[in-house]
Each structure stands twice: as C-alpha cells, then as structure tokens.
C-alpha cells in the first residue's frame, strides 16, 4: 500500500471515528421538550448537559447565554455548536448572542420572562412526574377578556376549570387567585408553571380539592427601574399597585359572575411567586375579610420581622389567636439556594404565635422548579 493510500485510509478511519463519537454523544441525548415541533436541537444528554447547534455561516462570534456564557465553535459547514456543563433541573431562560446582538433561538419555543420574550429550555428533574401530563381527567384553561376601568383598556386573564366543571353543572368550586412574578405576565403559570398539569395530577390522586384557578396580569410585567432622582421606596410602592383595585373590584366580581364559584372568604385563596408573593401579602393581609388561604413562593412582605411584626399590614399579626382563626393556611415557600430570609420570617412568625407552613425546595434557586414545587405543596393545603 503506497503512502497516499495509507494517508487516505487513515483520514477515512479518523472521520468514521469522529462521526461515531458525535453519534454516540447525540444517541445519549434527546431533543429538549421545549423545542419547536421537529427541531432536533437543542438536546439534553444523560449528564443534563445541553447541546446547541446554530446555523450562522457569516457570523464572526456566536455565544450562548444560559446561566453562564459559552463561546460556540464554528464548523466548516457554518454551523456553530456548544455543549454546556451539567445544568440544574427545571426550566431556564436563555438567548443567543450573534456578533454582539441578542437573539431568541429559532429552534426553541419562546416564553415571556425577565421583561421580554426569551428562549427557554426544560432540563429533566428527578421529580418531574408531578408536572408531567398523564392519562387522567384534564381540566381546561380558559382565556377571558373584559374592559378594565382601572387599566383603561382590555384586560386578559386565564382561568383553570377542573375536569368535572362541565360535567357537573350544579357544582360550585373554591377559587385560588395565583400570581406571576416581576417581568412575567398572566401566561407564566400556564406555560412555564404548568399549573393545569400539576392540579390535574393532584386531583386525580385525591391529594387536592377540585378548584378554579385564576391567573391575572399583576401590572408588574416590566422590570422595576426607578426613574433618575425618584425615591426608590415611593417607586416601589407604586410598582404594580394598580393590581389591588383590579383584582378586588374587577377580576373577582367578573369571576364570581361568570364561573360557578363560592363567594365567601373560606373558599377563596391567593398566592404568588416573587413580586406576586409580595402582592399577595399586600392584598390578603389587608383584606382578611376576603381571603382565608395565603401563599408566598419566594416572595413576602418587605419588612423586618424582628422589629415590625406587630405593626405591618395594619397590625394583622398583633393578635395571633385572631389571625390563626381567620387564616386556614399560611404558606411560605423558597428555594434552598435563595438564602435564609423566608426561613427567618417563618421562624419569627412561629415565635410570635402565628401558625405557618414553611417549605424549602431542595437544590433550586429563584426559578420555576421552585415555584412548581411550591404550588404542588400549597394546593394540598387548600379548602380542606
């Protein structure tokens, strides 16, 4: 065999080895569940690494921003690739940077979060069974519009009705008003949060009561940015403040007129994540005549529980016996990676005689897996 033939054979063998290695890599991976229909990339492998391929033949630099910034490598075919380090389980926003400009990934679904439309990727979680669709009866997500006097325009919100809502027309149901966080909107709990799947599964297992769930725009879909020279505390007071009259004076009356729900406080709950948790405290603790179940997911009041506990919210915590009689469940949830502030609040409340349920999502931060788990736990406490 002459030298040229030997080199040619060696190149063919090396090419086959490289292809086999690539195939092995891809064989140990699956398209992300958040991909658009038919898209093979991004993929997630057995180590929870994400593999991305982006066609940008004329680009000079392509990066992936997904919890960290990754430089992608350009192939001879003009396709840029990168494999991330192992990623935390759950849902994560990301975007592509191409020659300094930010883009959504055309191969992934887009989601409204962080005040803009973002690509998102779902990384399998060990406990994802509770938010995975199953062969059980399913409820419905209904889209509602009305003309808002407060907003001076049409207001959209979504309503989850349980599986037996239409088949049992004489039944009435309790209501959970469930809020998104800052930089998100009424779509968040339906798309990123998978609330209908979580509740469907809980109802099917007999772990929670059938209920109606209302998810509304909390007037905090932009990110909080005080104007130059503006007092930050006053700016914070006004941020999302219109949601209180919208909920109390417009959404609740609309829901109670349109859907078969109970209208008393014992059958009405409210919860929210992050800024929606703050709004939940602001609304419910100042209106205990209207709510008897309260949940904060990575969100609570902005006060010092050691020094201000008896004065905040018009002194609602001053009489523990009265509070405990009115509030049937007071839930405080947080991710274990978010810090100790909610645990400290829970401890201060307990010390003061205020009954509360503390829940910590292990291994998660300020993210949707934390809040899915919080909803799963909170829903089981409701309307018992």
User: What is the pLDDT, as a whole number, of residue 20?
Assistant: 39
Sign of CA dihedral 107, 111, 116, 117: positive
pLDDT score for 302: 80
Is the model's pLDDT at 60 over the cut of 80? yes
Question: What pLDDT score does 100 carry?
Answer: 94
Mean pLDDT of the chain: 92
Note the pLDDT of residue 21.
43
- Per-residue pLDDT at 24: 52
Q: What is the structure's pLDDT at 236?
A: 80
Q: Looking at the predicted structure, is the pLDDT value of residue 116 above 90?
A: yes
pLDDT score of 31: 97
Average pLDDT over residues 311-331: 96
Which residues on adjacent β-strands are paired with residue 123? 90
Domains and CATH numbers, the chain: 27-124 (2.60.40.10), 129-379 (3.40.50.1820)
**Is the pLDDT confidence value at 23 over 50?**
no
- pLDDT-based confidence at 233, cuts 50/70/90? confident
Give the pLDDT confidence score for residue 25 in this predicted structure: 53
pLDDT tens profile 300-318: 888 888 888 999 999 999 9
* Separation CA 248–CA 251 (nearest Å): 7
Confidence bin at 19 (pLDDT 50/70/90): very low
- What is the mean predicted confidence (pLDDT) over 253-263? 98
Q: Band of the pLDDT at 190, cuts 50, 70, 90?
A: very high
Encoding tokens for residue 294?
């309260």
Q: Do 118 and 110 touch, CB atoms closer than 8 A?
A: yes
């Amino acid at each position: 065999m002459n030298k040229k033939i030997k080199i040619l054979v060696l190149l063919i063998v090396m090419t086959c080895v490289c292809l086999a290695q690539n195939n092995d890599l891809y064989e140990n991976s699956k398209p992300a569940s958040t991909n658009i229909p038919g898209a093979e990339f991004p993929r997630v492998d057995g180590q929870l690494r994400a593999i991305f391929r982006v066609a940008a033949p004329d680009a000079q630099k392509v990066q992936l921003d997904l919890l960290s910034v990754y430089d992608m490598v350009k192939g001879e075919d003009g396709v840029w690739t990168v494999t991330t380090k192992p990623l935390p389980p759950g849902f994560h926003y990301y975007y592509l940077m191409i020659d300094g400009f930010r883009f959504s990934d055309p191969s992934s679904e887009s989601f409204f979060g962080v005040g803009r439309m973002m690509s998102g990727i779902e990384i399998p979680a060990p406990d994802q069974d509770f938010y995975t669709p199953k062969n059980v009866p399913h409820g419905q997500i209904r889209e509602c519009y009305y003309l808002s006097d407060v907003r001076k325009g049409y207001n959209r919100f979504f309503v989850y009705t349980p599986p037996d809502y239409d088949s049992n027309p004489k039944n009435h149901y309790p209501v959970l008003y469930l809020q998104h966080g800052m930089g998100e909107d009424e779509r968040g709990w339906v798309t990123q949060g998978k609330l209908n799947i979580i509740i469907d599964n809980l109802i099917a297992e007999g772990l929670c009561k059938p209920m109606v769930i209302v998810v509304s725009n909390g007037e905090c879909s932009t990110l909080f940015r005080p104007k130059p020279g503006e007092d930050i505390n006053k700016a914070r007071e006004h941020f999302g403040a219109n949601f209180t009259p919208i909920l109390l004076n417009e959404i609740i009356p609309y829901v109670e007129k349109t859907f078969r729900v109970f209208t008393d406080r014992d059958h009405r709950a409210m919860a929210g994540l992050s800024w929606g948790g703050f709004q939940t405290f602001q609304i419910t603790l100042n209106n205990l005549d209207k709510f008897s179940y309260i949940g904060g997911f990575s969100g609570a009041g902005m006060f010092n529980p050691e020094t201000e506990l008896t004065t905040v919210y018009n002194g609602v915590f001053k009489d523990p016996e009265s509070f405990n009689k009115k509030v049937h469940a007071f839930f405080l949830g947080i991710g274990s990676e978010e810090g100790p502030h909610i645990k400290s609040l829970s401890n201060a409340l307990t010390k003061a005689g205020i009954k509360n349920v503390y829940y910590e999502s292990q291994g998660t931060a300020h993210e949707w897996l934390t809040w899915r788990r919080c909803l799963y736990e909170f829903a089981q406490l409701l309307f018992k």
